[in-house]
Amino acid sequence: MLVLTRKENESIMIGNDVEVKVLDLKDNQVKLGIVAPRHISVHRHEVYLAIQAENAEAASPAAAEDVAKFIPH
């Protein structure tokens, strides 16, 4: 894992196409802006896991159970 320190209005680049910018720091939260091409999906982790579980369930009910173990309840 790469760990970086950024201040408000600073950003990082992922490859040549994805920019992640720190927009705001407040209390215990950070607001990020993500600029990426339309063909790259960007989701919060819990949404990504839910999508994976739906896809696995559509393919196989047993596979959906494996993915569902990682979704916070």
Per-residue model confidence (pLDDT) at position 18? 97
Find tokens 């990426």 and name the residue.
Answer: 36
Determine the Cα–Cα distance for residues 65 and 63; give it in Å rounded to an integer: 5
Per-residue model confidence (pLDDT) at position 63? 60
CA 27 to chain CA mean position, Å: 21
Per-residue model confidence (pLDDT) at position 73? 64
Determine the Cα–Cα distance for residues 8 and 22; give it in Å rounded to an integer: 5
- In the chain, where the domains are located: 1-39, 43-73
Per-residue model confidence (pLDDT) at position 71? 72
CA distances in angstroms from 42 to 27, 38, 62, 66, listed in the order given: 25, 9, 27, 23
Per-residue model confidence (pLDDT) at position 15? 96
Query: Which pLDDT tens digits describe the chain residue by residue (73 residues)?
Result: 999 999 999 999 999 999 999 999 999 999 999 999 999 999 999 999 999 988 888 877 666 566 677 777 6
